[in-house]
Amino acid sequence: MVRAMNAPLVTPRFRIAPSPTGYFHVGGARTALYNWALAKRLGGTFVLRIEDTDAERNRPEWNQGIIDALAWIGIHADDPTFEGPYFQSQYAEHHVAEAQRLFANGAAYYCDMTSDQIQERAKAEGVTGYAGWSRELGLGPGPGRVLRFRVPEGSTVVNDLVRGEVTFDNATIEDFVLLRGNGSPMFLLANVVDDVTMRISHVIRAEEHLPNTPKQQMLWEALGHEPPVWAHVPLLVNEQRKKISKRRDKVALESYRDEGYRADAMVNYLMTLGWSPGDEEIQPWVAMQEAFALEDVAKSPAFFDLKKLAAFNGTYIRAMSVDEFVAATEPWCAQWREAHPDAMWNAEQFAAMSPFIQQRATTLAEAPGVVDFMFLPNPQFDEKDLSKAWAVEDAAALVAETIAAFETCDWTDEAMKAAFDAIAEAHGLKPGKAQAPIRVAITGRTVGPPLYEAMELLGRDEVLRRLRALPGSVHVA
């Protein structure tokens, strides 16, 4: 309060503290974005601290994955706002030293009970957890002994920018472990000590950490510091309304990138989960960066909706210039070429068809598949579509007459359309319906991009060849 009335002594410092135990989580990405928006707008600093203290589960190769994932969503390590990455494991000595300080001034004590002993005694005494049994034993450090925080009497009020004041009765908080029996620091301790050391002013993280907050706030105070500004943003949940997790949901940011979601679409979508950018939800990053405020963040969990993400992505794809689109789809086109060594990829034709692809695709990855029939030696016939084609009235005659007309007409999409429309009309059919056999002959399917445009690019010889080769049409010509 007092601080807010004066000019800030230092610029605000934000942080994200992911642990390298897997791919980068979309929820972590949203939290990062919120922190990043504030750091950028307020001229502050965004610290990346990788919390790699769980030796059992950590894998060093994930570290680069975190940095790459952040870079993908526009949080670049070479931006002056960015600081780090720091690796928590390198500060273990300092964490232990601070814990000793807590022990020295009586804020923490050693306990020699094992988990089993605690469980047994709790059961015997009818209490739920560890009830401070070693508090007054005056134990010193020793093998197998954990260091516990002496939770003071009273209550702890957490002032949260999105939740308001949250009060915890300290009696409901057990004396939590600071140092393990092997002397290594626990998350609660390491996290706070690092935040203190790195002069973090704002801790913005997911709501799952709210129950940890009173403990951490007590730690900040016991360590002799003013707690930071807290803000707990709503969880991202799945269809069952449960926190999305690695085990049951697709949460890896990288997988969306690899499936052809655009970074700006993902960023835009993520920002709207728990926050609204205003009248128009499709917004460029800079606009959201300027508008974002923790006070406006919603309190209730948000469903991570793939369908809406896809809609955002489609909107962003359609907003690209054709050149941008062609360049952006290249990685997936390259994959397609690799998977089809016998195909004759034609970059000019792909580019020429791109405006049509753009308005159909919801991901970049789908792009080659929309027009792949053009480059394959033969279309891949869909059985159902093939029978649909032959179900069209006068199908055989339609194909035969189309072959005849295409042998001589001008080779432009307009001329082909005019010729075919005339044929369809002569049979008393709507062109759209009569087109099915022709479309299947050329593309293998009844649905796809505009036909005449594709045929013009394919060339007369190839189109006639495909028309004559339509499976089931052998008796016609």
Out of 44, 228, 301, 379, name the contact with RNA by CB under 7 A: 301
**Binding residue (CB under 7 A) for RNA from 8, 60, 129, 331:** 129
Interaction between residue 166 and RNA (CB under 7 A): yes
Question: What whole-number distance in Å separates Cα of residue 128 and Cα of residue 135?
Answer: 17
Looking only at residues 341 through 360 of this chain, which bind RNA when binding is defined by CB under 7 A? 356, 359-360
- Determine the interface stretch with RNA among 73-81, 112-120, 246-254, 390-398 (rule: CB under 7 A): 112-120
Ranges within 4-23 binding RNA (CB under 7 A):
17, 19
25 binds RNA (CB under 7 A): no
Q: Which of 242, 246, 299, 433 is catalytic?
A: 246
| 100 makes contact with RNA (CB under 7 A) | no
170 binds RNA (CB under 7 A): no
Contact present, 348 and 375 (Cβ < 8 Å): no
Q: Is 429 in the site for RNA (CB under 7 A)?
A: no
Residue 432 is a binding residue for RNA (CB under 7 A): yes
Round to whole Å and give the CA distance between 70 and 254. Answer: 10
Task: Between 125 and 338, name the residue whose CB sits nearer to RNA.
Answer: 125
234 binds RNA (CB under 7 A): yes
- Number of residues located near RNA, criterion CB under 7 A: 84
Report, in Å, the least distance between residue 251 CB and RNA. Answer: 13
Kindly indicate which of the ranges 75-83, 92-100, 162-170, 257-265 contains the residues binding RNA, using the contact rule CB under 7 A: 162-170
Ranges of H-type helices in 261-305: 263-271, 285-291
Q: How far is the CB of 335 from RNA (least distance, A)?
A: 22
Name the DSSP class of 184: P
**Within 199-228, which residues bind RNA (CB under 7 A)?**
207-212
Active-site residue, 246 included: yes
128 touches RNA (CB under 7 A): yes
Q: Which of 24, 103, 168, 325 binds RNA (CB under 7 A)?
A: 168
Task: Answer for the pair 197, 12: CB distance below 8 angstroms, yes or no.
Answer: no
Site for RNA in 370-409 (CB under 7 A): none
- The two three-digit tokens of residue 117, written as one number: 């002993």
- Residue 122 CB, shortest distance to RNA, in Å, is 9
Residue type, 364: L
Closer of 71 and 166 to RNA (Cβ)? 166
Closer of 45 and 268 to RNA (Cβ): 268
Region of 99-107, 344-352, 404-412, 441-449 interacting with RNA (CB under 7 A) = 441-449
Footprint of RNA on 257-286 (CB under 7 A): 272-276, 279, 281
Interface with RNA, residue 471, by CB under 7 A: no
Task: Give which of 233, 244, 177 is closest to 204, Cα–Cα.
Answer: 233
The DSSP element (H or E) to which 77 belongs, if any, is none
Task: Using DSSP, state whether 251 is helix, strand or coil.
Answer: coil
- End-to-end C-alpha distance for the chain, whole angstroms: 88
b (16+ CB within 10 A) / e for 114-151: eeeebeeebeeeeeeebeebbeeeeeeeeeebbbbbeb
Does 40 interact with RNA (rule: CB under 7 A)?
Answer: no
The secondary structure of residue 154, as a DSSP letter, is S
Is 256 among the residues that bind RNA (CB under 7 A)?
no
Kindly indicate which of the ranges 94-102, 175-183, 254-262, 457-465 contains the residues binding RNA, using the contact rule CB under 7 A.
Answer: 175-183
Calculate the alpha carbon distances from 418 to 100, 402, 425, 428 in Å. Answer: 87, 11, 11, 15
Q: Could you give phi then psi for residue 168, rounded to 5 degrees? A: -120, 135
Tokens for 196, please give them.
Answer: 């203190």
Coil, strand, or helix at residue 194? helix
240 binds RNA (CB under 7 A): yes
Residue 191, SS3 per DSSP: helix
Which residues, 6 or more positions from 196, have their beta carbon under 8 angstroms from its beta carbon?
A: 220, 223, 225
DSSP 97: H
Instruction: Give the residue numbers marked as catalytic.
Output: 246
